[in-house]
Copies of this chain bind each other. A is one copy, B any other.
Amino acid sequence: MLIIMGANTHENANLQVMNMLEQAGITGYPVNSGKRRLICLGQNLPEQLHENLLELSTVEKIMPIKTPYKLASREYRPQNSRVVVGNRVSVGDGNFVVMAGPCTIESEEQLFSTAAAVKKAGAHILRGGAFKPRTSPYSFQGMGIEGLRLLRQAGNHFDLPVITEVMETAYVEDVAFYSDIIQIGARNMQNFPLLREVGRTGKAVMLKRGPSATLEEWLMAAEYVMATGNEQVILCERGIKSFDPATRNCLDLGGVVAVQEKTHLPIIIDPSHATGKRSLVPPLALAAAAAGTAGIMLECHPKPEVALCDGPQSLTFDQLYRLLQTVRQVVQALNIEEAAEFEELKVGA
């Protein structure tokens, strides 16, 4: 249930509603999204209280949202959301956005040569890992703050907004300072204190789906970010676990299409992590474009064979360039046919 306060209401109006809820033994969770004040409830309202609240001049309306996620639901916001990144790239408004870059930032030279290739190929956002969640404590864990600085410099130099992952609350401020989108990795999808902390920065957040998270759990994680008042959330599917060890992960494109009916948030596909294998990335990137998703995230490297992390799934610069050419051709083909009927859908809220 969502209580929507009128535009420009004072904080005192919120307190009044919170008091009325508390007297009824109901916990309300106030959300101040900047644009307006909301109060989220994990349960239904008794009929009388419902009426009393509606009679307040400060309460605009009460939405009986059935799904456990409220702010992330299409019930709350029927039209697609648009997340504006670095003041110049829109995710979710019908463009097909490409994020690309190295898995891990290894050196200035590696990062800048990759950023140049990313720019030349026509990608829109530069990715690069400075803090790496590694399965083994005995593997390279990333360049840290120094990596963040390099990423920012490369982004500025090639006029590309940048995205990078944060793994712990202690570094959220740094990552927010140096990047345009803060990435939450798949392993941290249900790291609730971290979700809250990145939400509070007000920066755009890209939330990767956990490898065995249900679609509902994924949206509930997004709700943790949104409950801080930060609505700039992008979702990212990177493959789920299956019973078949022959493939690294199973890209759940059907799940993405299904969950898009439930949420207004834009969804990005990461075929690099989904497959773990270079030759499988292009067909799945094209599939993501044809399925109407909001974009893709790709890994590339000047010399994949010597990459410190995930080399086998990194594209060469030439492969990236050619893939994005074909991607654009597919996107254009869809637009010809579907422009009319999808028009309305593609305009952001």
Residues of A within 8 A of B (CB): 27, 29, 40-42, 68, 70, 133-140, 167-170, 187-188, 190-194, 196, 210-212, 214-217, 220, 223-224, 227, 239-247, 249-255, 257-259, 261, 271, 274-275, 277, 279-280, 283-284, 286-292, 325-326, 329-330, 332-334, 336-338
**Are A217 and B135 within 8 A (Cβ)?**
yes
**Are A337 and B333 within 8 A (Cβ)?**
no
**Are B138 and A29 within 8 A (Cβ)?**
yes
One of B136, B220, B292, B329 near A334 (C-beta < 8 A): B329
Chain B residues positioned under 8 Å from A329 (CB to CB): 333-334, 336-337
Q: Can you list 17 contacts pairing A with B, beta carbon distance less than 8 Å?
A: A135-B217, A136-B223, A137-B192, A137-B220, A137-B227, A170-B193, A187-B191, A211-B212, A212-B241, A216-B246, A244-B255, A250-B252, A250-B254, A254-B271, A286-B291, A290-B290, A325-B337
Chain B residues positioned under 8 Å from A243 (CB to CB): 212, 214, 240-243
Q: Known contacts A193-B168, A254-B275, A258-B277; decide if A326 and B337 are in contact (CB<8 Å).
A: yes
When chains A and B are docked, how far (Å) is the Cα of A223 from the Cα of B135? Answer: 10
Chain B residues positioned under 8 Å from A251 (CB to CB): 253-254
Q: What is the minimal beta-carbon distance from A326 to any residue of chain B, in angstroms?
A: 4
Among A216, A251, A252, A258, the one with the most B-chain Cβ atoms within 10 Å of its Cβ is A258
Q: What is the minimal beta-carbon distance from A348 to any residue of chain B, in angstroms?
A: 19
Copies assembled: 4
Chain B residues positioned under 8 Å from A325 (CB to CB): 337
Known contacts A254-B275, A283-B290; can you find 15 more A-B pairs with CB under 8 A?
Answer: A42-B136, A42-B138, A134-B192, A135-B217, A137-B192, A167-B193, A188-B191, A240-B244, A247-B255, A253-B253, A289-B290, A325-B337, A329-B337, A330-B330, A332-B333
**Are A287 and B277 within 8 A (Cβ)?**
no
When chains A and B are docked, how far (Å) is the Cα of A53 from the Cα of B164? Answer: 40
**Are B254 and A247 within 8 A (Cβ)?**
yes
Chain B residues positioned under 8 Å from A188 (CB to CB): 191
When chains A and B are docked, how far (Å) is the Cα of A279 from the Cα of B139? Answer: 33
When chains A and B are docked, how far (Å) is the Cα of A170 from the Cα of B168? Answer: 10
